[in-house]
Amino acid sequence: MLPFKLIYDHGYDLHLGAHVSPSQKYRLVRETLLREGLADESDFISPAPAADEDVLRVHEPEYVHKLKTGTLNYLEILRMEVAYSEELINACWLGAGGSIEAGKRALADRCAVNIGGGFHHAFPDHGEGFCVIHDVAIAIRRLQFDGVIQTAMTVDTDVHQGNGTAAIFARDESVFTFSIHQENNYPYPKPPSDLDVNLPDGTDDGNYLAILEAHLVRAFEMLHPDLIFYIAGADPYREDQLGGLALTMEGLRRRDDMVFDHARRHGVPIAVTLAGGYARSVVDTVRIHVNTVLAARDAMFRQSARSTG
């Protein structure tokens, strides 16, 4: 049994087929964790879909209405880069509900993982880059509305800058946005996060981890949040089709360890979303995401050992 909950629903899998964004990875992560004895059924909980009122804390009413009624125009659908369907909208609302649940569970248990979410390219009035609504922003706003947090930090290690995150929380001192990503990659332009790290093409494990360490220190000097949302993309991997960095699986695991260690040292609960991953073999993407879950597990066990030692 894991020391935290995994948030998952079968509705996360959109059955997109040959699409470059493999939505089947969510199901495969769950199956891998169960098959390898790394988790059991009791570790998983299914979220309720986000309420429309929670989605509207972030997104414009006209945009939400179009999503719910299937009245997006051709260009709006083209910008999302995923085909519109009722199944898509149900999955997006489920994913946002999953991130709300992950935030609540992290506050209770110090950590939780949404096996989905991390849709950081969604803006208040449109979706783009495979992202329809911004689940992490919706979760933060709901938790702030409930009064269970005042401040939050997003730590985004996806290979692509979190442009939607930056835009949504611009000029909002209650949310600190940190993104470490490949500079010469989508999106263009990149609206400024509170802390952006623009990496050159081909950045490898050693350089990446040294840069990440220095900027995590800086981020926590700038804000000590009530909660961290960790957007743990698998796409800095050297075999990713949409990335141009050169991290190995071991480097990505060490990245995860570093983020969880900083959260532990500062005593901040952490909610995880798995975000992007487009490796040539979906098996690699799944393994990277599974390793993030294991890094969270190991960090929790280390914290427990220190507190009882």
Looking at residue 127, its amino acid is: G
pLDDT the model gives residue 181: 98
Q: Domain coordinates of the chain in residue numbers?
A: 5-14+21-308
pLDDT in tens, 29-80: 999 999 999 999 999 999 999 999 999 999 999 999 999 999 999 999 999 9
Closest residue by Cα to residue 226 from 120, 107, 307, 117: 107
CA distance 147 to 244: 40
Q: What is the pLDDT of residue 13?
A: 87
CATH architecture of 5-14+21-308: 3-Layer(aba) Sandwich (3.40)
Strand partners, 196: 179
Cα-based distances in Å from 259 to 214, 251, 269: 12, 13, 12
How many CB atoms within 10 Å of residue 22? Answer: 21
Would you state the pLDDT for residue 301?
Answer: 82
Residues in the chain predicted with pLDDT less than 70, given as ranges, are: 304-309
pLDDT at res. 22: 87
Q: For residue 11, report the phi and psi dihedrals to the nearest 5 degrees.
A: -70, -10
